[in-house]
Each structure stands twice: as C-alpha cells, then as structure tokens.
Amino acid sequence: MNRLVGLLNTSIGQKLVVAISGLALVSFLLVHMLGNLTIFQGPEVMNGYAAWLKGHPLLWVARVSLISLFIGHIVLAIRLALRNRRSRPIAYHHTRIDQETNVVSRYIALTGVLILSFLIYHVLHFTLGVVQPEHSLFVDAHGRHDVYRMVVESFQVPSVAISYLVAMIILGLHLSHGLHSLFQTFGLFHETYIGLIRAIGFTVASVIVIGNISIPLSVWLGFISI
C-alpha cells in the first residue's frame, strides 16, 4: 500500500492515473454516445432507454464516480502540464517528439478546463433541469419523462445547439491530442509509428464527435422532429 501511495505521488504514477482514467472516460463517452443515438429510433426507444437508466439503482453512484474521475483526470493533467513547464530548462534542444509533447500538453490543459465547464452546463441542462426547466415537465403517453421531446426542443434553440457543437469540437481536439500523451505514457510513442498514433487518435475522436453532433444537426435539418 505504501508503495502504491508513493507511486501516486510521483510524476510517473500521476501520468499512469491520467492515462488509465482517460481510457475509462473514452469508454464512457462511446457508451454514452450510443445511448444518445437511440433518438434516431424514435421517442419510444429513447424514452424507454432513459427510463431504464433513470431507474437503475446504481445510477447516481455511476454519476458521482464519473464526475469524480473526470475532475481528478483534469486536475492531475493540469498539475503535470504546469510541472513540466516549470521543470523545462530554458536552453533545451527539442526533438520532434518533445515538440509535439509540449504542444499536446498545452492543448490538454486548455481544452480540459473548457470541457469541464461544458460538463457542468450539460448536467445542469439535461440531468438536473436547471437550464430550460420547463422541459423537465414533458411526459410521454406512458407517463415517462419525454426525453426525446426535451432533446428536440432544446436543440431547436440555436444558442443551445451551437454550444453543444462547439463543445464537441473541443472534445474532439482534446481526445485527439490526449491519445498522444496516453501512448507516450504506456511507452508506445515513437517516430516510426507516429502516423498510426495520429490516425487512431483522430478516428476515435471523430467517431465520438460525429456521433454526438449528428443529433443537433439532424434536428436543425428536420430529420428528427416531434
């Protein structure tokens, strides 16, 4: 136990925590996106899925765990970025990997804070109903919360839809750059296959971004309507 605590107090240990928590969060984002995409199957499927999720006994445990994991991920990433900046010598010859690492580090810190801000807004909007509280009163024919109508009417408001589109683009940048750091932490970052690493990061980020932005765009274009 003492060795574990000691490891977590080191840069290497914290980088491992950031990398592992990042993988967990990416997995959640993929699952969450698939749940969101049930909107394309109509109100019956989406409202049924939402009702099942809402009634799950471990829902709030999962929510609190995810929020804690996300906050811990961001805080540690920012601490590591600041530590790297403070410890970097003034006169230092940067290799190509060093230069890319520095750029990634700056992007990770900035986009991480922006994503955390969006997460707070997202929870206030669709989870707690603080934003557009009238949407929390929507009920479908089965007496369930009409999540389908809530999402459609929310994204019919240009400012709301645009905020989600911008947030998803920022998330995509964070994921794409973050995977660079993840591969480096696990010792898999090398000049030889840097192209493959970029492709993996871009593909994972694109799937999540395109999947999520397809919803407000479909509402705008009339493919999804009440």
15-46 tens-digit pLDDT: 788 888 888 899 999 999 999 999 999 999 99
User: What three-state secondary structure class fits 13?
Assistant: helix
Q: Set out the domains of the chain in order of their start, with CATH numbers.
A: 2-221 (1.20.1300.10)
**pLDDT higher for 90 or 186?**
186
Decide if 111 contacts 180 (C-beta within 8 A): no
Residues 6+ apart with CB under 8 A from 121: 131, 163
What mean pLDDT is predicted for residues 76-84?
76
Q: Is 129 helix (H, G, I), strand (E, B) or coil?
A: coil
Q: Give the 3-state DSSP-derived string for 188-199, with helices as H, strands as E and coil as C.
A: CCCHHHHHHHHH
* pLDDT of res. 93: 47
| pTM score of the predicted model | 0.82
- Quote the CA–CA distance of 31 and 24 in Å, as a whole number: 11
144 contacts 150 by C-beta, under 8 angstroms? no
Q: Which of 40-54, 70-84, 86-100 has the lowest mean pLDDT?
A: 86-100
Phi and psi for 28 in degrees, rounded to 5?
A: -60, -45
List, in order, residues 6 or more apart from 49 with CB less than 8 Å away: 35, 38
